[in-house]
Amino acid sequence: MATERASPIRRRHTDRIGRLASLRIVTDNELMGLALAEATAAIDHGDVPVGAVILLDGKVIASRHDERERLGDPTACAELLAIRDATAHVGSRRLDGATIAVTIEPSVMCAGAILDAGMARVVFGVPDLSGGAVGSLYQVGADPRLGREFVTTHNVRAPECADLLTTYLAARD
């Protein structure tokens, strides 16, 4: 049986999580500041600058950015990568009571994963009018037919999140 080695990318994220985990985040603005910082890292490898940070029991347990282009994987969204890291950190597929902060409104795929993980809150910066699933087009976190729900807080540091996205998109054209 082959032994698994942590990739340099995974190791880097694990090291960063270790440093971030010691921070006590108390406000949505501070949490979004970490997501914004994470989002800027995506630009270095040609991905859309989207960042996600997961907070559990007052501590950051995961922080990731989009890597869809880098990895050639349509599921390598900031939210899903952060959820994977967070569940590995807690040793369970459940993230009951956790908050995820994302610079742009989560898609249907990401909102479904957030719901399935049992997170309590989603905090996002700017709405995604073309595919947002927690307020703009769909209400995944507030649909009682899905069996569970989460609270959504929107427009947290929205001007900064929007500026990051529009600057990136303008440079790409």
pLDDT tens, residue by residue, 42-60:
999 999 999 999 999 999 9
Model confidence at 23, pLDDT cuts 50, 70, 90, reads low
Averaged pLDDT, 117-139? 97
Higher pLDDT: 166 or 14? It is 166
Ranges 19-23, 98-102, 144-148: which has the least confidence: 19-23
pTM: 0.86
Q: Sign (positive/negative) of CA torsion 123, 109, 126, 22?
A: positive
pLDDT tens, residue by residue, 67-109:
999 999 999 999 999 999 999 999 999 999 999 999 999 999 9
pLDDT of residue 11: 39
- Of the residues 38, 67, 79, 105, only one is catalytic, namely 79
When the pLDDT of each residue in the chain is averaged and rounded to a whole number, the result is 89
Query: Is 69 a catalytic site residue?
Result: no
